Amino acid sequence: MTALIYDDIFLKHDTGYGHPENSERLENTIKYLKESGLWEKLQVMKPRAASMEEIGLVHPQTYIKAVKQIADTGGGWLDGDTVVSSESYNAAIYAAGAPLTAIDLIMKDGGKNAFCLIRPPGHHATPTRGMGFCLFNNAAIAAKYVQLKYRMERILIIDWDVHHGNGTQDAFYNDPTVLYFSMHRFPFYPGSGRKEEDGHDKGKGFNINIPLSADIMPKKYIELFTDVMEHRVSQFIPEFIIISAGFDTYKKDHIGGLNLNIEDFGVLTEIVMKSTERYSNGRIVSCLEGGYNLSDLPLCIEAHLKALLQV
Write out the catalytic residue numbers. Answer: 124
DSSP state letter for 23: T
120-to-38, 45, 74, 137, 252 alpha-carbon distances in Å: 24, 18, 17, 9, 22
Phi, psi for 182 (deg, rounded to 5): -125, 130
d(CA 116, CA 101) in angstroms, rounded, equals: 9
d(CA 123, CA 289) in angstroms, rounded, equals: 7
Dihedral sign for Cα atoms in the order 83, 179, 149, 308: positive
156-to-78, 160, 177 alpha-carbon distances in Å: 29, 13, 9
3-state secondary structure 97-112: HHHHHHHHHHHHHCCC
CA dihedral 75, 76, 82, 85 (to 10 degrees): 10
d(CA 200, CA 131) in angstroms, rounded, equals: 23
Whether 157 contacts 203, CB under 8 Å: no
